[in-house]
């Protein structure tokens, strides 16, 4: 059975990171797997080519693929383009059209990197938490979303934070299911002290827990306090579930716990199809396009490669291969290889391609 992958490398360091995954896919195909890949444009490069952040045909390809691998979008070059076609619009369009409501952002501290975080070693050593971010609702997509000229030299900007019961139910269901495969603990974060959407969030998570998942430990935390706890003692968490905007911010914080933004993968999943059981899925590193280092061959490809590991795990049920790929990453780090973003004393600095090659070699050896 062939696995159809749409590769959307995007802008900045996206193509460099994606190049390492392409090498890996080629090696896996040599080993007998059957991945079929197709490239398409997204973000600023798509805007340059056809004036939209993603072409309609490419949205259709994403909908039809078994999985989408996504690099990064954006950069100063497109700062002035109209809001509707800004690079990020391509990513948001895919999330919405593919109904990828569940965004899994695991933050794992590899033992070899425990000393390279800005936090004390004992705080992050052995860290393994999962931020589950709601990805298709909230203030990202709520209407109205406008800037109105009030006519008196003033303008008014409005974003709308909106959540319906079913949206909170389905994301909390995913949180509890995932927790059962981990340490069986969910912490839900919102701002019920200020926001109506927080009140409903809290209510629905509590009701979902009571109805179907009372075997899982559930805690509630205000999202600001949660941010504080995440840097104070992150190991108190297992699965954190939160809305789209809080999840965006808290996952960047969590990324730095692991040493670098260049380390954090993510999976964005839809609901299982009623007939086939298959989920639409997009995998992307949490880091952005990093235009300042783009094209220099120094970007860290680990988050992109680890995103592909998540793809193997969640889209193709290739658990052994996913484990092996994650072990290859850990092993290369243990050998002392470092890209610039995670470099520390006594370690060997390597570029993007050398890091990718080393991981692929370990992966192949362990087969």
Which positions lie near ligand IPM, rule CB under 6 A? 88, 91, 248, 286
Q: What's the alpha-carbon Rg for the chain, to the nearest Å?
A: 20
DSSP string over 48-92: HHHSSSS-HHHHHHHHHSSEEEEEE---GGGTTS-GGGSHHHHHH
Nearest distance in Å: CB 140, ligand IPM: 7
User: 83 labelled as ligand-binding?
Assistant: yes
Nearest distance in Å: CB 10, ligand IPM: 10
The interface mask with Mn ion, positions 231-270, x = CB under 5 A, is: -----------------x----------------------
User: 336 labelled as ligand-binding?
Assistant: no
- Please tell me the distance from the alpha carbon of residue 102 to that of residue 269, in angstroms, as a whole number: 5
User: 108 labelled as ligand-binding?
Assistant: no
Q: Which of 66, 163, 191, 283 is catalytic?
A: 191
**Residue 125's binding partner out of ligand IPM, Mn ion, none, with CB under 5 to 8 Å set by partner kind:** none
| Catalytic residue list contains 357 | no
Q: Which is nearer to Mn ion, 22 or 105 (CB)?
A: 105
**Residue 88's binding partner out of ligand IPM, Mn ion, none, with CB under 5 to 8 Å set by partner kind:** ligand IPM
Q: Which two tokens stand for residue 52?
A: 């939209």
Contact 198, 267 (CB under 8 A): no
Nearest distance in Å: CB 248, ligand IPM: 5
Q: Which is nearer to ligand IPM, 81 or 327 (CB)?
A: 81
- Please tell me the distance from the alpha carbon of residue 229 to that of residue 227, in angstroms, as a whole number: 6
| Catalytic residue list contains 341 | no
Q: Which of 11, 47, 110, 140 is catalytic?
A: 140
Q: Which of 97, 128, 159, 252 is catalytic?
A: 252
Question: What's the chain's length in residues?
Answer: 367
CA distances from 245 to 27, 105, 202 (A): 38, 14, 16
| Catalytic residue list contains 224 | yes
Sequence-separated (6 or more) residues with CB below 8 Å from residue 220:
187, 188, 189, 190, 192, 202, 205, 206
Sequence-separated (6 or more) residues with CB below 8 Å from residue 203:
none
- Look at the block and give the residue holding tokens 């990324």: 255
User: 346 labelled as ligand-binding?
Assistant: no
Q: Which residues are catalytic?
A: 140, 191, 224, 248, 252
From the annotation, which residues make up the binding site?
A: 75-88, 95, 105, 133, 224, 248, 252, 288-300
List residues forming the annotated binding site for substrate.
95, 105, 133, 224
Q: Rule CB under 5 A: which residues touch Mn ion? A: 248
């Amino acid at each position: 059975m062939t696995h159809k992958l749409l590769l959307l490398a995007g802008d900045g360091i996206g193509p460099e990171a994606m190049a390492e995954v392409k090498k890996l896919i080629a090696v896996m195909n040599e080993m007998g797997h059957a991945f079929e890949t197709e490239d398409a444009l997204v973000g600023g490069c798509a805007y340059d080519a056809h004036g939209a952040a993603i072409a309609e045909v490419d949205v259709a390809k994403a909908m039809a693929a078994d999985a989408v691998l996504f690099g990064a979008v954006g950069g100063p070059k497109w700062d002035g383009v109209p809001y509707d076609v800004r690079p990020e619009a391509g990513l948001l369009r895919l999330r919405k059209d593919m109904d990828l409501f569940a965004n899994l952002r695991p933050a794992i501290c590899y033992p070899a990197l425990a000393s390279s975080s800005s936090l004390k070693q004992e705080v992050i050593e052995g860290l393994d938490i999962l931020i589950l971010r709601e990805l298709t609702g909230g203030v990202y997509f709520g209407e109205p979303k406008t800037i109105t000229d009030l006519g008196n030299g003033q303008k008014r900007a409005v974003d709308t934070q909106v959540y319906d019961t079913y949206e909170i139910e389905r994301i909390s269901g995913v949180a509890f299911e995932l927790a059962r495969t981990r340490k069986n603990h969910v912490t839900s974060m919102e701002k019920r002290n200020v926001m109506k959407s927080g009140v409903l969030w809290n209510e629905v998570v509590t009701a979902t827990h009571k109805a179907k998942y009372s075997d899982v430990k559930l805690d509630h935390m205000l999202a600001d306090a949660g941010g504080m706890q995440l840097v104070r003692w992150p190991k108190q968490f297992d699965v954190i579930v939160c809305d789209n905007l809080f999840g965006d911010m808290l996952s960047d914080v969590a990324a730095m716990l692991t040493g670098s933004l260049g380390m954090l993968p993510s999976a964005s999943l839809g609901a299982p199809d009623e007939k086939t059981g298959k989920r639409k899925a997009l995998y992307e590193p949490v880091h952005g396009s990093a235009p300042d280092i783009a094209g220099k061959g120094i970007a860290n490809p680990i988050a992109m490669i680890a995103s592909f590991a998540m793809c193997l795990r969640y889209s193709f049920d290739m658990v052994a291969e996913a484990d092996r790929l994650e072990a290859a990453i850990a092993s290369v780090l243990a050998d002392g290889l470092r890209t610039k973003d995670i470099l520390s004393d006594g370690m060997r600095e390597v570029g993007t391609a050398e890091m990718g090659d080393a991981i692929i070699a370990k992966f192949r050896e362990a087969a």
